[in-house]
Amino acid sequence: MTPNPAAPPFAAAVIAVLAALVLAACGGGGGGESTSVGLPAGCQEAQVPAPKRVDLKPPGRKAGVGQSPVATIETSCGSFEIALDSKHSPKTVSSFVYLARRGVYDNTIFHAIDPNRIIQGGDPLGTGKGGAGYFVDEAPPSNAEYTKGTVAMAKTATEPPGRSRSQFFVVAAADAGLPPQYAILGRVSSGQGVVDRIATLGDPATQSGTPLATVVIRTITMREG
């Protein structure tokens, strides 16, 4: 990935890691046993869940998305909320709501963590290579920025801007330094501290994206904000 010219100073140094996570949509692998090594306060030890193979057809219509939908992400490290941007990203939000209501995200992991920068989940296989069986396209605005609290959808390097499947990432850094290619899902509206807590569980020594401990998404539920 070519560094964003407007990116902050740290962006060039971490660009390869971010490419491995949000560009390739293939972070550290799921599977194997969990570990409680280095678990911060507020996190519970969790086992790696069994992979789920999902092959859904895309939602035929907007998935009952309200004017101000909010997603509550309950994890083994606490809960946080996302104010979904249904006004500017109606197709992306509709797909996410559809997948959440189908239970696709339940009992999955954050399979990739770039330490203190982004956390990535939403893969039912837990490997970073899975999806929901379909994709949607909704290019973000040309001035999109991926700043702290932004939630966006992951895609491969060869896919067009705004393509998304099921994987999403949450920015824990001041600015992830990414170009405007990732469909915007919304912003963290509550519980940013939980996101930051999870983001400490990336390996700073290797920056491979492989989490130091298993963090499970228990459920994702929806409500009107």
**CA–CA dist 225, 62 (Å, integer):** 18
| Reported pTM | 0.86
Q: Annotate 147-197 with DSSP letters as a single string.
A: BTTEEEE---TTSPTTEE-S-EEEE-SSB----S-S-EEEEEEE-HHHHHH
pLDDT, position 20: 56
Q: Say which residue, 4 or 117, is predicted with more confidence.
A: 117
As given in the structure block, the two tokens for residue 78 are 């606490």
Whether residue 221 has pLDDT greater than 70: yes
**CA–CA dist 135, 121 (Å, integer):** 16
Model confidence pLDDT, tens digit, residues 9-22:
233 334 445 555 67
pLDDT, position 116: 85
In 3D space, the residue among 113, 111, 119, 129 whose CA is nearest the CA of residue 53 turns out to be 129
- Percent residues over pLDDT 70 in the chain: 81
SS3 at position 143: coil
Residue 173's contacts (CB-CB under 8 Å, 6 or more residues apart) are 10, 116, 117, 118, 148
The continuous run of DSSP H or E covering 86 comes out as: none
Beta-strand pair 184-190/168-171: unpaired
Q: How confident is the model at residue 149 (pLDDT cuts 50, 70, 90)?
A: very high
As given in the structure block, the two tokens for residue 174 are 């001041």
pLDDT, position 62: 66
Whether residue 191 has pLDDT greater than 60: yes
Model confidence pLDDT, tens digit, residues 62-109:
666 677 899 999 999 999 999 999 999 999 999 999 999 999 999 999
Q: How confident is the model at residue 208 (pLDDT cuts 50, 70, 90)?
A: confident
**CA–CA dist 200, 18 (Å, integer):** 16
Rg (CA), the chain: 16
> What structural domains and CATH numbers belong to the chain?
11-224 (2.40.100.10)
Whether residue 1 has pLDDT greater than 70: no
Query: Other C-beta atoms within 10 Å of 224: how many?
Result: 9
**CA–CA dist 43, 198 (Å, integer):** 8
The continuous run of DSSP H or E covering 84 comes out as: strand 78-84
